């Protein structure tokens, strides 16, 4: 195999991830509204299905991490491609228990995709371009979310969930071509060396930067990947079940997919830009400011929900898009901070595995917590709670100035 540059490999693994996650992304806007077509009996089952793939990733993370250490990268990615095709195709069938098994299998696929990408990025990046490459990966793989949420919502609304699932299963097969052509048979960050990689095992958890990054990853993924993503269609439905635009009536599923899709549309260029800016101007300060802005926006979203009129609706949508922009910045910068921490460890691969496991746990708890809170306290209280959590996180990072210096050492 001819030598492939690090950037080309990052682009390839990002596109592989995008093609594989199309079916999964569709479910976050479609399943909360079309759950009866899937043979489900309650919204609680929707929350379980949207969360179980993330719970299964928690115990799987260390095992998959060992796989990559011993078996290389390409084999794991090929396995992920096959599972992505199978699970997306199965969403055309009915039955909670069948869906539960398939969602668990998708959790296996995502674990291989995510850890493979993290390992590759830490291997081929350095301090001066780590943010750019992480942003490039985050931006490009979100094209899968764009296709899944937008095309999936339209197909499900017009033809039903079964047709949408079958149609969206096909693109995942093309990912195999990219794996064989551009991904090396093996990659590992285990052999990297550096003067600061002196911490191993349990001692790694005693570092302030490590603990802060882990707690933040848990809460941020719970908020953005879990609660916000899984409840966006409900938030839109409560505000306006149907919106007429240019003579076309748009339902909550399509509107939610458009709001999400616009983010996935800008991320291929916005996320690398955010990463590059963090390389040049510092990650932690950017992270703190964005957390404060996000806290304000989540609170303002509920403050404008019941306001009527065209101007109020436009302001409400502007707030939604503002939240999506903070998601792009926070996710990219936090992943890069985690990679900075990994570059300081004796075994950076083990650190990224732990970071991925904690992130998966937060993302898994999000949908379950969201649907439980929706039924018991309502969306308004839930989103005010999110605002408070993000504000407290910003204060916590602001109170640890040593973390600002950490990013300059890699």
Please tell me what DSSP assigns to residue 187.
-
Query: What is the predicted pLDDT for the residue at 191?
Result: 44
Crossing angle of helices 252-281 and 310-342, rounded to 10°: 40
Residue 402: phi, psi to the nearest 5? Answer: -65, -25
pLDDT (tens digit, 9 = 90+) per residue, 340-380?
A: 877 676 666 677 788 888 988 888 788 788 878 877 888 88
* CA–CA distance, 70 with 260 (Å, rounded to integer): 37
Q: Identify the CATH class of 6-184+200-406.
A: mainly alpha
Neighbours of 72 (CB within 10 A): 18
DSSP string, 252-297: HHHHHHHHHHHHHHHHHHHHHHHHHHHHHH-HHHHHHHHHHHHHHH
Domain ranges of the chain: 6-184+200-406
Query: What is the predicted pLDDT for the residue at 161?
Result: 85
- pLDDT tens, per residue, the chain with 410 residues: 456 677 788 899 999 999 999 989 888 778 877 888 888 888 778 878 887 887 788 888 888 877 877 766 678 889 999 999 999 999 888 889 998 999 999 999 999 998 888 888 877 777 677 888 888 898 888 888 778 877 888 888 888 888 888 999 988 888 988 988 888 776 654 444 443 444 444 454 456 677 888 899 999 999 998 899 888 878 887 766 556 555 555 566 677 777 877 887 888 889 889 988 988 888 888 999 999 999 999 999 877 666 666 677 888 889 999 999 999 999 999 998 888 877 676 666 677 788 888 988 888 788 788 878 877 888 888 999 999 999 999 999 987 655 545 554 44
Q: What is the maximum alpha-carbon separation in the chain? A: 63
DSSP string, 216-256: HHHHHHIIIIIIIHHHHHHHHHHH-SEEEETTEEEEHHHHH
Nearest CA-CA partner of 362 in 218, 167, 244? 218
State in Å, rounded, how far the first CA of the chain is from the last one.
Answer: 30
Query: What is the predicted pLDDT for the residue at 2?
Result: 55
268 with 280: CB under 8 angstroms?
no
Neighbours of 311 (CB within 10 A): 9
Query: What is the predicted pLDDT for the residue at 116?
Result: 86
Query: What is the predicted pLDDT for the residue at 20?
Result: 94
Please tell me what DSSP assigns to residue 36.
G
Query: What is the predicted pLDDT for the residue at 108?
Result: 93
Is 321 buried (19+), middle (13-18) or exposed (0-12) by CB count in 10 A?
A: middle
* CA–CA distance, 328 with 247 (Å, rounded to integer): 32
Which residue in the block uniquely carries the two structure tokens 């095309």? 151
* CA–CA distance, 378 with 380 (Å, rounded to integer): 6
Nearest CA-CA partner of 167 in 85, 100, 229? 85
Which residue in the block uniquely carries the two structure tokens 């955010």? 274
108 with 54: CB under 8 angstroms?
no
157 with 253: CB under 8 angstroms?
yes
Query: What is the predicted pLDDT for the residue at 194?
Result: 42
Contacts 24+ apart (CB under 8 A), 234-242: 234/32, 234/374, 234/379, 235/301, 235/305, 235/379, 235/383, 237/33, 238/305, 238/379, 239/305, 239/316, 240/313
Provide the b/e sequence for 41-50 (b: ≥16 CB within 10 Å).
eebebbbbbb
Query: What is the predicted pLDDT for the residue at 379?
Result: 83
Query: What is the predicted pLDDT for the residue at 293?
Result: 96
Tokens of 232: 């966006």
């Amino acid at each position: 195999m001819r030598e492939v540059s690090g950037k080309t490999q990052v682009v390839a693994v990002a596109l592989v991830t995008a093609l594989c996650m199309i079916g999964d992304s569709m479910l976050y806007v479609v399943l909360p509204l079309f759950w009866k077509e899937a043979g489900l009996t309650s919204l609680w089952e929707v929350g379980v299905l949207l969360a179980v793939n993330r719970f299964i990733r928690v115990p799987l993370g260390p095992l998959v991490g060992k796989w990559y250490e011993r078996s290389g990268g390409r084999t794991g990615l090929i396995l992920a491609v096959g599972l992505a095709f199978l699970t997306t195709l199965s969403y055309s069938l009915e039955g909670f228990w069948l869906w539960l098994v398939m969602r668990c299998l998708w959790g296996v696929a995502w674990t291989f995709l995510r850890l493979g990408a993290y390992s590759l990025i830490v291997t081929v990046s350095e301090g001066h371009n780590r943010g750019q490459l992480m942003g490039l990966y985050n931006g490009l793989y979100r094209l899968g979310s764009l296709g899944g949420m937008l095309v999936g919502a339209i197909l499900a609304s017009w033809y039903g969930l079964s047709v949408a699932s079958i149609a969206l299963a096909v693109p995942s097969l093309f990912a195999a071509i990219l794996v064989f052509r551009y991904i090396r048979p093996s990659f590992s960050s285990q052999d990297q060396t550096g003067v600061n990689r002196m911490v191993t095992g349990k001692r790694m958890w005693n570092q302030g930067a490590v603990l802060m990054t882990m707690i933040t990853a848990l809460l941020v993924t719970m908020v953005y990947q879990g609660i916000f993503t899984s409840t966006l269609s409900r938030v839109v439905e409560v505000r306006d079940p149907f919106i007429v635009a240019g003579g076309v009536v748009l339902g909550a599923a399509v509107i939610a997919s458009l709001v999400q899709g616009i983010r996935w549309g800008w991320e291929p260029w916005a996320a690398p830009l955010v990463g590059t800016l963090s390389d040049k101007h510092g990650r932690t300060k950017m992270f703190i400011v964005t957390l404060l802005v996000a806290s304000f926006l989540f609170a303002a979203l509920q403050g404008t929900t019941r306001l009527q009129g065209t101007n109020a609706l436009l302001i409400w949508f502007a707030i939604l898009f503002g939240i999506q922009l903070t998601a792009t910045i926070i996710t990219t910068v936090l992943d890069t901070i985690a990679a900075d921490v990994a570059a300081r460890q004796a075994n950076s691969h083990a650190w990224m595995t732990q970071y991925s496991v904690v992130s998966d746990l937060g993302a898994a708890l999000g949908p379950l917590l969201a649907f439980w809170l929706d039924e018991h306290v309502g969306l308004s209280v839930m989103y005010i709670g999110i605002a408070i959590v993000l504000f407290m996180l910003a204060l916590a990072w602001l109170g640890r100035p040593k973390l600002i210096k950490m990013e300059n050492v890699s």
